[in-house]
Structure 1
Amino acid sequence: MRTPTENWRGRVQMGIGWGLFVGRAGDGAAHAHHAVQVLLSESAQAVWTRPTGWLRASGIVIGADVEHQLAPTTESVTVLYVEPHSTAGRHLGGSLRDGVQVLDRREVEAARQALGETPDAAAVAALVERIGGDDRTADHQPTGDALIAELIESLPAQLPDRLTTATLAQQARLSESRFLHRFRAHTGLPLRPYLRWRRLLVAMTGVMEGRALTQAAVDAGFADAAHFTRTFRRHFGIPPKTLLDLQPGR
């Protein structure tokens, strides 16, 4: 029988507004982070949250900034992190009671099926629909906007430190309020969280490609490695050096 490990072992994947880990979870102290977290497993895992204390569950949703701890696992688990201000994150957070929702076996299986083998933003939205209990997410899915899509495509990989709403709205030839409305409708995220997740994605990719932490951070538009580390830990509860033990998702 495998014994729990202090290191996280598995694969990691990230998109704008979400991150995914599949593998054996390592040791970690109780913490709270910015993302809504969904844990899925074949069998019950030991999880502690501030509202519930220790419990065993094969599926649980933990709200943003709710203190929690996952005991090291001896088998593979799926951990999904979702930006709380995204369409999916707002729906997940709105369905929680006291910041926590324990999933039953039917919900766990439905969620795992929704994610599939190659998760993407659509799979994350499908997961939220299946465990959220209603169809509010479907009614508020991001809608395509060619103008905003073209603007996003034009953004450099290394985002400037100060990329303002005014600058982007001017580039799109829209008022600031209209730009922000259309941007959120297209991406499902407000502008600031979107840019933050984009920086995280670029930096994470750099680290996993072998770049030094400082270089990966600067290449992504963070001020330095410390800025990247703080932001990464705030979203996921672990330091970015954990990525060195992980493989990129398919």
Structure 2
Amino acid sequence: IIAPKGKAIHIPAGQTHSIGPEGRLTRSIYIDPRFSGIRNDQQCNQPACLSDDLSAALEHISDINQARDWAKRFAGRLPGSAIDSRLQKALGNVRALANPAALARELALSPTRLREIVKADFGVPPSKLLQWLQLLGAAKAMEASSSLADAAAAGGFADQAHFTRRLQQWFGVTPKIGLSGLEVSVDDLS
């Protein structure tokens, strides 16, 4: 989908995409699927242009508080339902987040049942959800002005190289290029 000038696009989780053209200033807001306890409805699984008012409001964001307000407004327009309470509780347990098998054990679920629940609640398989949570942990550490090595460790990455590869895989940037001068803010979801 190509957005007309001034239109924003909602890209659901799990969608391979490219933002361009290269060199053009763009704004991306990544909304944690746990935000406000909602999830994207599976009917919204394709990229789509946002309404004129949401697009215009996005263009006029000038600080992190306005970005949070916009995200709340956006999330309020998505059909959704509460996240499975067992899963919600386990997501706060770092030990359970080591890998999908550890998460399944923590919840006393089979890997197949865990996959069904995570896919229904977040639109992605457990491994992708856990990767996202690792990136959030590293971003939160970076927000606190940690070094890259400290951020990688806080996210549960094996080392800086692992963090760099994952960041490049997910966002197409390296920490040096993609995160320099970037304002990183991660809200607590509780």
TM-score bracket, normalised by the shorter chain, equals 0.5 to 0.7
Contact 1:148 1:186 in 2 (8 A): no
Q: Counterpart in 2 of 1:57?
A: 5
> Aligned partners of 1:111, 1:149: CA distance in 2, in Å?
29
Partner of residue 247 from structure 1, selected from 178, 183, 186: 183
> Aligned partners of 2:148, 2:171: CA distance in 1, in Å?
17
Deviations 1:25-46 (A, max 9, x none): xxxxxxxxxxxxxxxxxxxxxx
Q: Counterpart in 2 of 1:149?
A: 88
Residue 29 of structure 2 aligns to a residue in which SS? strand
> Aligned partners of 1:224, 1:181: CA distance in 2, in Å?
31
How many residues are treated as equivalent by the alignment?
Answer: 173
Larger radius of gyration: 1
> Aligned partners of 2:132, 2:81: CA distance in 1, in Å?
17
The answer to whether the aligner puts 1:108 opposite 2:55 as a matched pair is yes
> Aligned partners of 1:213, 1:239: CA distance in 2, in Å?
11
Paired AA for residue 154 in structure 1:
N
Partner of residue 68 from structure 1, selected from 16, 20, 32: 20
Partner of residue 75 from structure 2, selected from 116, 122, 125: 125
The answer to whether the aligner puts 1:206 opposite 2:141 as a matched pair is yes
Deviations 1:39-97 (A, max 9, x none): xxxxxxxxxxxx86xx9712243763336225354xxx6422469xxx6496665255x
Deviations 1:107-129 (A, max 9, x none): 5237679xx82258754434xx5
The TM-score normalised by the length of structure 2 is 0.65
> Aligned partners of 1:193, 1:123: CA distance in 2, in Å?
25
Residue 149 of structure 1 aligns to a residue in which SS? helix
The TM-score normalised by the length of structure 1 is 0.52
- Report the structure, 1 or 2, having the larger helix content: 2
Are the structure 2 counterparts of residues 120 and 107 from structure 1 closer, same or farther at C-alpha, using a change threshold of 3 Å?
closer
- Report the structure, 1 or 2, having the larger strand content: 1
Contact 2:54 2:74 in 1 (8 A): no
The answer to whether the aligner puts 1:164 opposite 2:164 as a matched pair is no
CA RMSD of aligned residues (A): 4.0
Identity %: 24
> Aligned partners of 1:80, 1:180: CA distance in 2, in Å?
26
Contiguous gaps of at least 5 residues in structure 2: 33-38
Deviation at 1:195, TM superposition (A): 0.5
Contiguous gaps of at least 5 residues in structure 1: 1-50, 130-136
Residue 59 of structure 1 aligns to a residue in which SS? coil
The aligned runs of 1:165-184 (5 Å cut-off) are 165=101, 167-184=102-119
> Aligned partners of 1:194, 1:181: CA distance in 2, in Å?
13
Are the structure 2 counterparts of residues 194 and 121 from structure 1 closer, same or farther at C-alpha, using a change threshold of 3 Å?
farther
> Aligned partners of 1:106, 1:181: CA distance in 2, in Å?
35
Which structure has more RCO (C-alpha within 8 Å, separation ≥ 6)? 1
